[in-house]
Amino acid sequence: MDTLYINKLLLYGHTGFYPEEKVLGVQFRLDLELVTALRRAGETDDLRDTVDYGTILKAVSDLVAQSRFNLVEKLATEIARVVLEHPKVETVRVHLTKCHPPLPFGDFNITVSMERDRDWVEGKK
């Protein structure tokens, strides 16, 4: 298997526990690792033989913009679920960073990292 990396996608949403996050929103940075077979696409140069990451990014962007979750863990889980709807993605690693949470500890970020696979979506794990 091969891996397609999507890095440093900046998104804006309203996921968070604190009132400021629910009302004002917060910026997220998303890095994805999509485990898939890329050999055929490398030979054919045909988009139908690979992961159409534009479609995935649109779905993920819409999810983040429209969701209202308390926890970044929940948002990351739902991102994994959306990515795995693509039939060519076997496993996804989600690295979701909440930029500048509204806490009085200076300039910091929080990142949730998780890996999910097709068996998880199908309820086998």
Q: Which residues are catalytic?
A: 98
H-only helix segments in the chain: 19-23, 39-44, 53-66, 72-83, 118-121
Report residue 96 as tokens: 């979701």
Q: Are 25 and 12 in contact (CB under 8 A)?
A: yes
Distance, in Å, from the CA atom of 26 to the CA atom of 104, rounded to the nearest integer, reads 15
